[in-house]
Amino acid sequence: MVGAIEGLSHMTFIVRDLDRMEHLLTTILGARKVYDSGEETFSVSRERFFTIGELWIATMEGDPPPTRTYNHIAFKIDEADYDAFLQRISALDLELKEGRSRVGGEGRSIYFYDYDNHLFELHTGTLEQRLIRYGRGR
């Protein structure tokens, strides 16, 4: 029998410009850089590692996704910080994506694209709140 998944290991984003993505991650998400391969490649290309809380984010130099989709990564933010995050995103002149229609009680979201077609969401709600709002509370 196979063991259980222990949690999320890391997320990797393929980007054209490692410096530009580093600026986005550190400025908007408060990421901390913990590794830079420099000119060496231990994987498939130059890479950098960041932490956001306990989450490990990897960025690798390469050809990013050719198109934009709704596939995204969502980070939890506090409702009180919503406007501050919106200002950070606007300061980097990133494209905001209009969010989907929502019902009251499931939180608010800011959607934005990075420079390489990755979609990010900053969300104020929780899974528990959403399940309760949808009538399927645990």
- List residues with catalytic annotation: 47
How far apart, in whole angstroms, are the C-alpha atoms of residue 129 and residue 36? 38
Rounded to 5°, the CA angle 34-39-45 comes to 80
Alpha helices (runs of H) in the chain, residue ranges in sequence order: 18-28, 82-91, 127-133
Q: Read off the DSSP letter of residue 92.
A: T
Instruction: Scan for tokens 């509370």, then name that residue.
Output: 137
Q: How far is CA 67 from the centre of its chain?
A: 17
Rounded to 5°, the CA angle 49-114-124 comes to 90
How far apart, in whole angstroms, are the C-alpha atoms of residue 115 and residue 110? 16
